[in-house]
């Protein structure tokens, strides 16, 4: 048993010494070290900003898309109705503001003058009748009921005259500044509501942001979707990056701007890339990365931008990296 333990310890020491010798020898001899990583392509989850019923989906999985290309549509009828309603409300408030700004028409003032003249004449006639009845009622020549009727008619005529005069004064005074300010604020709110309705109508059309390939088609025509839910997932064609990891002894060889060669199992010729950034924090090697080093070794993540990427590089594909110089 002790002999087995001793042999195991000797083998572990030999492996550790071989690994340290390999790293040091690579640095001293100038041979390019090997790094391992995975292709990391950005994905976009496309979704409508408004809820509704899906009218059509124009792309299948695997189809290519171009920037601003339409990929799906919602039933736009409810949002078109909302735009029409908001537009009608805005036109109504525009007419009201124009009416207040233009002031009273001369025809309205002339009509108010004539109305005042008529009420003044009626008031004068009612006054004369009332005064005549007032003189006769004391001698008993006129019934008390007729006198009360004449007095009520006179009071009514006087009230109508005063109302007509007030209406004329109001027309002559014109529109108050507060009314115009209120009408302007209402019109601004109506324009904002119209703009919002037009934006929601435009959001019933789903477009691709950049050139890419459809990975998944989540919805079908007739489906009811909520705002923000994913309808299609698109893999962007550019940029294509590789996420790789470097152990601490080789960290000095990895720096932004350095050229690298990217090898895949399906292509004999390498791709050309350039290191973009190096993480400032150490981490454990992910299990998805197949390396020759121990899993427990701390590594630093760095990212390589592939300059001549094509359709041969797929999301998550394992690759091997070698430094060019």
Gap between the Cα atoms of 262 and 153, Å rounded: 107
Contacts 24+ apart (CB under 8 A), 251-255: 251/278, 251/300, 253/27, 253/33, 253/323, 254/35, 254/278, 254/300, 254/302
Does 196 score more than 60 pLDDT?
Answer: yes
For residue 244, list its beta bridge partners.
Answer: 37, 302
List, by residue range, all CATH 2.40.50.100 domains of the chain. 45-75+203-233
Using alpha carbons, select from 206, 279, 205, 210 the residue that is nearest to residue 43: 210
Bond from prior residue into 134 cis (ω within 30 degrees of 0): no
Task: Please give the residue that has the higher pLDDT: either 145 or 103.
Answer: 145
Mean pLDDT of 228-241: 92
Using alpha carbons, select from 275, 325, 273 the residue that is nearest to residue 300: 275
**Helix, strand or coil for residue 47?**
strand
**Helix, strand or coil for residue 211?**
coil
What confidence tens digit (pLDDT) does each residue in 106-137 have?
777 778 788 888 888 888 888 888 777 777 77
Does 29 score more than 70 pLDDT?
Answer: no
Q: Which residue shows structure tokens 């790789």?
A: 244
Output the CATH code of domain 32-43+238-323. 2.40.30.170
Query: Against a cut of 0.75, is the pTM above it?
Result: no
List, by residue range, all CATH 1.10.287.470 domains of the chain. 82-199
The top-level CATH class assigned to 45-75+203-233 is mainly beta
User: What pLDDT is stored for residue 24 in this prediction?
Assistant: 47
The top-level CATH class assigned to 82-199 is mainly alpha
Q: List the strands of the sheet with 224-225, edge to edge.
A: 205-207, 70-74, 52-57, 224-225
User: What pLDDT is stored for residue 214 in this prediction?
Assistant: 94
Q: Is the dihedral of CA 143, 149, 155, 158 positive or negative?
A: negative
What confidence tens digit (pLDDT) does each residue in 220-232 have?
999 999 999 999 9
Half-sphere exposure in the Cβ direction for 58 (13 Å, CA): 13
For 60, counting Cβ atoms within 10 Å of its Cβ (0-12 exposed, 13-18 middle, 19+ buried), the class is exposed
């Amino acid at each position: 048993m002790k002999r087995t333990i001793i042999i195991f310890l000797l083998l572990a020491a030999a492996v550790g010494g071989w690994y340290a010798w390999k790293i040091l020898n690579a640095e001293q001899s100038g041979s390019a070290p090997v790094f391992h990583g995975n292709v990391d392509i950005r994905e976009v989850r496309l979704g409508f900003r408004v809820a509704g019923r899906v009218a059509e989906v124009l792309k299948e999985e695997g189809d290519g898309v171009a920037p601003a290309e339409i990929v799906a549509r919602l039933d736009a009828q409810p949002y078109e109705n909302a735009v029409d309603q908001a537009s009608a409300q805005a036109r109504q408030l525009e007419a009201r503001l124009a009416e207040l700004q233009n002031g009273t028409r001369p025809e309205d003032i002339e009509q108010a003058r004539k109305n005042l003249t008529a009420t003044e004449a009626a008031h004068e006639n009612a006054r004369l009748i009332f005064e005549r009845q007032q003189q006769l009622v004391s001698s008993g020549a006129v019934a008390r009921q007729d006198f009360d009727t004449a007095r009520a008619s006179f009071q009514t005529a006087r009230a109508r005259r005063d109302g007509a005069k007030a209406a004329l004064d109001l027309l002559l005074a014109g529109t108050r500044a507060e009314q115009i300010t209120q009408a302007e604020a209402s019109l601004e709110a109506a324009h904002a509501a119209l703009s919002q309705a037009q934006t929601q109508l435009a959001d019933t059309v789903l477009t691709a942001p950049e050139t890419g390939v459809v990975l998944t088609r989540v919805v079908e025509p007739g489906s009811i979707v909520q705002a923000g839910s994913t309808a299609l997932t698109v893999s962007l064609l550019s940029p294509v990056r590789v996420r790789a990891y470097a152990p601490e002894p080789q960290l000095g060889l990895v720096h932004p701007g350095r050229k690298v060669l990217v090898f895949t199992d399906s292509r004999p010729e390498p791709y050309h890339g350039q290191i973009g950034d190096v993480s400032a924090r150490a981490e454990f090697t992910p299990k998805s990365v197949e390396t020759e080093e121990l899993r427990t070794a701390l590594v630093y993540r760095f990212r390589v931008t592939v300059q001549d990427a094509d359709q041969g590089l797929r999301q998550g594909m394992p690759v091997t990296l070698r430094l060019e110089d």
